[in-house]
Amino acid sequence: MTVAGLVALPRHPDYRRPQPFAGPDHPMRVLTRAVAFGEPWTDDDATRVARTFDELAPSWSTDHVDPLKAAPLLDAIDRGGVPTDGRWVELGSGTGAGCRALDGRVREHVSLDLSFRMLAHAPDRSLRVQADSSQLPLTDDCADVVLMINMILFPREVDRILRPHGHVVWVNTLGDQTPIHLPPDDVATALPGAWSGVTAKAGTGFWTVLRRTADA
Ligand X SMILES: C[S@@+](CC[C@H](N)C(=O)[O-])C[C@H]1O[C@@H](n2cnc3c(N)ncnc32)[C@H](O)[C@@H]1O
d(CA 205, CA 69): 8
Among 3, 31, 49, 99, binds ligand X (CB under 6 A): 49
Least CB distance to ligand X at residue 119 (A):
8
Residues in region 130-189 near ligand X by CB under 6 A: 132-134, 149-152, 180
Are 110 and 130 in contact by the 8 Å Cβ rule? The answer is no
Are 83 and 145 in contact by the 8 Å Cβ rule? The answer is yes
Assign 21 to helix, strand or coil: coil
Comparing CB distances to ligand X, the nearer of 15 and 170 is 170
- Binding of ligand X by 72 (CB under 6 A): no
Least CB distance to ligand X at residue 81 (A):
22
Binding-site size, ligand X (CB under 6 A): 21
Among 31, 74, 97, 210, binds ligand X (CB under 6 A): 97
Burial class (CB in 10 A: 0-12, 13-18, 19+), 42: exposed
- Could you tell me which of 209, 202, 188, 146 has the C-alpha nearest to residue 37? 188
CA dihedral 90, 91, 94, 99 (to 10 degrees): 0
Among 15, 70, 106, 115, binds ligand X (CB under 6 A): 115
- Using the contact rule CB under 6 A, the part of the chain among 8-16, 76-84, 85-93, 186-194 near ligand X is 85-93
Provide the mask over 7-46, with x wherever binding to ligand X is found by CB under 6 A and - wherever it is not. Answer: ----------------------------------------
Are 191 and 158 in contact by the 8 Å Cβ rule? The answer is yes
Given the rule CB under 6 A, which residues bind ligand X?
A: 49, 53, 64-65, 91-94, 97, 113-115, 118, 132-134, 149-152, 180
